[in-house]
Amino acid sequence: MKHKPRFDQLVAACHYEEGERQYEAIDAIKQYYPDRASKVFIELLDSPDMTVRFKAAKLLGEPGEKDIEVVAAALIKALDDSSYVVRSEALKSLIRLRYPSVQKYALLLLHSDSAWQVRSTAAEAVGF
């Protein structure tokens, strides 16, 4: 039987490890500490690594999220990310969370975002 990793070690790995070890730590936090995961994932939205920001945005949109207002505020901030992949995933997460104001943000992105991928996601959101 595998032992449960310590939360503080996983958080440190999320912030200071690179590549596969970092992604494994993110997944382990989701698995072993779901009640504390959203706080860590919100912090990871400021990571210098675009892939980490993308993964954090994706995981924040998982059903069952309890503190939707706090998570939504972080995802809304991520709609201004420098990476279109993160912006698109943040919008998808807001949709999955059924955030009440998602259409307002989708319309804004539909008309203003420079990336067609984000505008496409926004068009889908408006269609729901």
CATH number at residue 60: 1.25.10.10
| Domains contained in the chain, number | 1
Q: Is the pLDDT of residue 21 over 70?
A: yes
List, for residues 64-87, the tens digit of each pLDDT value: 767 889 999 999 999 999 999 999
Which of 123, 127, 126, 61 has its CA nearest to residue 92?
A: 61
1 is a domain residue: no
Range of the domain at 17: 7-127
Contact present, 43 and 65 (Cβ < 8 Å): no
pTM: 0.91
Asked if residue 15 belongs to a domain, the reply is yes
Question: Is 123 a domain residue?
Answer: yes
Work out the widest C-alpha separation in the chain, in whole angstroms: 52
Rounded CA gap, 18 and 9, in Å? 14
Q: Has residue 2 been placed in a domain? A: no
- Per-residue model confidence as pLDDT tens digits over 77-126: 999 999 999 999 999 999 999 888 999 999 999 999 999 999 999 998 88
Tokens representing 57 are: 């945005």
